[in-house]
C-alpha cells in the first residue's frame, strides 16, 4: 500500500520548476521515440526516415541503421525504443516485431508474432519495456493490452485485457517499467499501475492529456505535446513537478517524449533534443 499512497500524493500535487536551458542537439526529420542508456548514449527513432540513430551527449551521430522495409535492420514505423547497457530494443510497429540490436547497432535478432497464437500473440506493438529480471513487456495496440514474456520468449501473462475488470485498458498509448517491476500504462487521461503479475494497483488521474511515459532509473516522466511532468519514485512524499519549456511548440515541432538523466531533463521534439539542467 505504500506505493499507492505515495503515488496519490505526488500525482495530486504539482509544482512549477524553474528551467535552465543548456543546449539543443540532434537534427531529425520526425522523431518518434528516444531512450538514454545507463552509459549516457542516446538512441532515437526517426519515423519519416525509418531509422534508429545513436548519438553521444554532444549530439554527434555515432551510428545509424534502418530504412523502410521488412528485412532485418529495416523498419516500418519504429514507434518506440528502449536501451539498456548492452541491448537496444525497437518496437517495429507495422512489421509486428521487436528488433534487437547491440549497443553498436549491429542487428542481433527479432521477436515477432509469427510463431505465437491466440492470447500469446501481439499485433502492431506500440511500446516495449524490459524488467530488471529480463522479462519483456509489449504494448499490444491491436488488442488494447500488455503482454509479458520471459527472456526466452515464452508467454507469461496478459495485463489489462478484457478480464482485468476495473483495470481493463481501452486506449493504451505508452508503457514504462519501474526498477521494482511495476508496469505503468497511459490509458486515455489516466495512468494505470500494475504489479509484475498483472494485478491492478492504482489508477492515477492526470490534469492533462499525456501522450508518453518514461522511467529512467526511478524518475517517472509523462508528457503531452507541450508539457512535461516528472517525479522521483524513490521518494515516497515527493511531488510531481510540472515543467513547461520556454520554447513554443508548434504542430511542426511538438514534444514527443521526455526523460530525466543525471540531473538533466531531456526533451525530445520532432526535430531535436532540448537539454535543461535541474540544479
Type and span of the H or E element at 4: helix 2-11
Full set of structural domains in the chain with CATH: 2-277 (2.120.10.30)
Rounded Cα distance, 179 and 56, in Å: 24
> Residues with Cβ < 8 Å from 119, sequence gap 6 or more?
155, 158, 161
Q: Structure pTM?
A: 0.92
Rounded Cα distance, 204 and 233, in Å: 14
Query: What pLDDT does residue 7 have?
Result: 56
Query: What pLDDT does residue 243 have?
Result: 80
Supply angle C-alpha 255, 257, 260, rounded to 5.
Answer: 120
**Cell numbers that stand for 237 in this block:** 512524499
Answer yes or no: are the C-beta atoms of 259 and 214 closer than 8 Å.
Answer: yes
DSSP-assigned beta bridge partners for residue 55: 42, 61
Instruction: Report phi then psi at 119, rounded to 5.
Output: -65, -15
Answer yes or no: are the C-beta atoms of 110 and 99 closer than 8 Å.
Answer: yes
- Nearest alpha-carbon partner for 182 in 163, 200, 155: 200
The residue-averaged pLDDT of 136-148 equals 96
- The confidence band for 72, taking pLDDT boundaries of 50, 70 and 90, is very high
pLDDT above 90 for 6: no
Instruction: Give tens-digit pLDDT for 166-215.
Output: 999 999 999 999 999 999 999 999 999 999 999 999 998 888 899 999 99
Amino acid at each position: 500500500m505504500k506505493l499507492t499512497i505515495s503515488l496519490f500524493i505526488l500525482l495530486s500535487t504539482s509544482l512549477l520548476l524553474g528551467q535552465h536551458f543548456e543546449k539543443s542537439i540532434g537534427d531529425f526529420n520526425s522523431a518518434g521515440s528516444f531512450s538514454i542508456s545507463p552509459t549516457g548514449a542516446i538512441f532515437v527513432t526517426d519515423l519519416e526516415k525509418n531509422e534508429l540513430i545513436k548519438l553521444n551527449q554532444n549530439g554527434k551521430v555515432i551510428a545509424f541503421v534502418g530504412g523502410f522495409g521488412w528485412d532485418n535492420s529495416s523498419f516500418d514505423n519504429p514507434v518506440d525504443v528502449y536501451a539498456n547497457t548492452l541491448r537496444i530494443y525497437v518496437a517495429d510497429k507495422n512489421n509486428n516485431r521487436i528488433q534487437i540490436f547491440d549497443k553498436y547497432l549491429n542487428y542481433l535478432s527479432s521477436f515477432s508474432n509469427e510463431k505465437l497464437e491466440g492470447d500469446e500473440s501481439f499485433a502492431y506493438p506500440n511500446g516495449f519495456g524490459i524488467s530488471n529480471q529480463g522479462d519483456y513487456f509489449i504494448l499490444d495496440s491491436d488488442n488494447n493490452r500488455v503482454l509479458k514474456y520471459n527472456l526466452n520468449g515464452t508467454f507469461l501473462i496478459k495485463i489489462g485485457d478484457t478480464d482485468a475488470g476495473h483495470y481493463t485498458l481501452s486506449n493504451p498509448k505508452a508503457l514504462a517499467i519501474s526498477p521494482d517491476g511495476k508496469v505503468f500504462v497511459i490509458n486515455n487521461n489516466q495512468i494505470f499501475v500494475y504489479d509484475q503479475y498483472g494485478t491492478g494497483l492504482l489508477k492515477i488521474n492526470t490534469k492533462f492529456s499525456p501522450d508518453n511515459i518514461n522511467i529512467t532509473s526511478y524518475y517517472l516522466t509523462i508528457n503531452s505535446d507541450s508539457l512535461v511532468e516528472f517525479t522521483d519514485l524513490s521518494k515516497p512524499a515527493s511531488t510531481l513537478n510540472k515543467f513547461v519549456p520556454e520554447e513554443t511548440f508548434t504542430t511542426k515541432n511538438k514534444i514527443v517524449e521526455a526523460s530525466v538523466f543525471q540531473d538533466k531533463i531531456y526533451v525530445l521534439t520532432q526535430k531535436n533534443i532540448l537539454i535543461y539542467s535541474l540544479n
